Amino acid sequence: MEFIDLGAQYDSIKEKINKRIQTVLDHRKFILGPEVEEFEKKTSEFLGVKHTIGVANGTDALMICLRALDIKPGDKVIVPAFTFFATSEMVSFLGAEPVFCDVDPDTYNLDPKQLEKIISPKIKAIMPVSLYGQCADFDWINQIASKYKIPVIEDAAQSFGATYKGKRSGNLTTLAATSFFPAKPLGCYGDGGACFTNDDKLAERIKQLRFHGQVGRYNHVIVGHNSRLDTLQAAILVEKLAIFPKELELRQKVADAYNAGLKGKVKTPKVESFNKSAWAQYTIEVNDRDAFAKKMQDKGVPTAVHYPKPLHLQPVYEGQFSKLKFPVSEAVCQKVISLPMHPYMSEKDLKTVIGAV
Ligand SMILES: *Cc1c(COP(=O)(O)O)cnc(C)c1O
């Protein structure tokens, strides 16, 4: 059994993908070729957002969103203490300072109840993560942010396809960033990412930032980056986006089966009534995680831990944030464990996982 079976997906659309790749090889517009624009347009339609700007990966997408808002040394950005490192990494990389916020013990997303007390004049952005595929509570977060006139960036690397009160992840905040890393809900065959916004000016700036700050050929108006979505990856993504709504339904079915089989036995994921998760992960909580993982492995079931250590306790932040306390983040890091999750899980594999748990 595989944790994520990318082969099953490829087998189902092999001819279409191969044809798309061949088309790119034939026209050879490898950088910002027509497929990039096609994918950006189709993605904007899917999200209902005005602008999609393809970039090299999800980490760059976060960095470019921060730079679009002119985040610089001395500024502070609020991020959850429990997420993948890239979220705070890009804040630190720009010389700004991450200000950690603890998460909700059931959704694992930034806890809006704790947000207002950490806002200060130096906070220049709030960057909640929609973890495991479920959106953070953006109405609540946006309401607090707008009171202090602070822009919000959604780290939507795990939530592409999710909805919040009927609106798609990526279309809920000033700016949003996603990743098309192969294992994400919508993944390409290498690295890829995108920024989203409804703001024309920010979209223009993001386009400059991904291409050396260029406006017109060899005319550089700002210091930018080389961070474009590859034409080949965009071509693959166009075909994958076409089957993506169907895959979201299949992911929900897998989650439903897990919920039905595991309820009352372990702590199963809580999805808010106004949310639809993209199910990047199906993550449960257990007490003796190492022993549990070992037993699962013995029964042929792969598991993974997202994530074993909160950000403030990462070695890179030793002495800087390591004395801070985020009790919920610290507790859930000890207990969370993710089960195999992808749209093509067989009934047999589902039964095996549920039985093993
Ligand atoms: C995967 C991920 C990223 C980074 O995306 P890459 O494409 O791997 O650079 C950022 N934030 C979160 C929450 C992620 O899960």
Q: What's the pTM value of the predicted model, to 2 decimals? A: 0.98
Backbone angles phi, psi at 13, to 5 degrees: -135, 25
- Residues linked to residue 27 through DSSP beta bridges, in sequence order: none
Cβ(171) – ligand 1 distance below 6 Å = no
* Spatial CB neighbours of 348, under 8 Å, sequence gap ≥ 6: none
SS3 152: strand
Q: Given this model, what pLDDT does residue 285 score? A: 98
The C-alpha atoms of residue 134 and residue 124 are separated, in whole angstroms, by 25
Cβ(84) – ligand 1 distance below 6 Å = yes
Mutate to test the pocket of ligand 1, among 57, 66, 84 (most ligand atoms within 8 A of CB): 84
- Retrieve residue 187's tokens: 């993944």
pLDDT tens-digit profile, the chain (357 residues): 999 999 999 999 999 999 999 999 999 999 999 999 999 999 999 999 999 999 999 999 999 999 999 999 999 999 999 999 999 999 999 999 999 999 999 999 999 999 999 999 999 999 999 999 999 999 999 999 999 999 999 999 999 999 999 999 999 999 999 999 999 999 999 999 999 999 999 999 999 999 999 999 999 999 999 999 999 999 999 999 999 999 999 999 999 999 999 999 999 999 999 999 999 999 999 999 999 999 999 999 999 999 999 999 999 999 999 999 999 999 999 999 999 999 999 999 999 999 999
Kindly give the distance from the C-alpha atom of residue 348 to the centroid of ligand 1, in angstroms, as a whole number: 31
The C-alpha atoms of residue 254 and residue 267 are separated, in whole angstroms, by 17
Cβ(87) – ligand 1 distance below 6 Å = yes
Cβ(59) – ligand 1 distance below 6 Å = yes
Counting atoms of ligand 1 from 1, which one is nearest the CA of 158? 15
Kindly give the distance from the C-alpha atom of residue 59 to the centroid of ligand 1, in angstroms, as a whole number: 6
Counting atoms of ligand 1 from 1, which one is nearest the CA of 181? 7
Q: Given this model, what pLDDT does residue 106 score? A: 98
Domains of the chain: 6-102+109-238 (3.40.640.10), 244-356 (3.90.1150.10)
Ligand 1 atom 5: residue of nearest CA: 58
Cβ(227) – ligand 1 distance below 6 Å = no
Ligand 1 atom 7: residue of nearest CA: 58
Report CA-CA distances (Å) from 354 to 51, 109, 266, 292.
41, 26, 11, 13
Ligand 1 atom 10: residue of nearest CA: 86
The C-alpha atoms of residue 206 and residue 258 are separated, in whole angstroms, by 40
Kindly give the distance from the C-alpha atom of residue 286 to the centroid of ligand 1, in angstroms, as a whole number: 25
Q: Given this model, what pLDDT does residue 246 score? A: 98
Cβ(211) – ligand 1 distance below 6 Å = no
Q: Given this model, what pLDDT does residue 185 score? A: 98
Kindly give the distance from the C-alpha atom of residue 175 to the centroid of ligand 1, in angstroms, as a whole number: 16
Q: Given this model, what pLDDT does residue 224 score? A: 98
DSSP-derived pairing of the beta strands 175-179 and 153-155: parallel
Cβ(179) – ligand 1 distance below 6 Å = yes
CA 85-295-81 angle, 5° bins: 20
Counting atoms of ligand 1 from 1, which one is nearest the CA of 179? 7
By CB atoms closer than 10 A (0-12, 13-18, 19+), residue 324 is middle
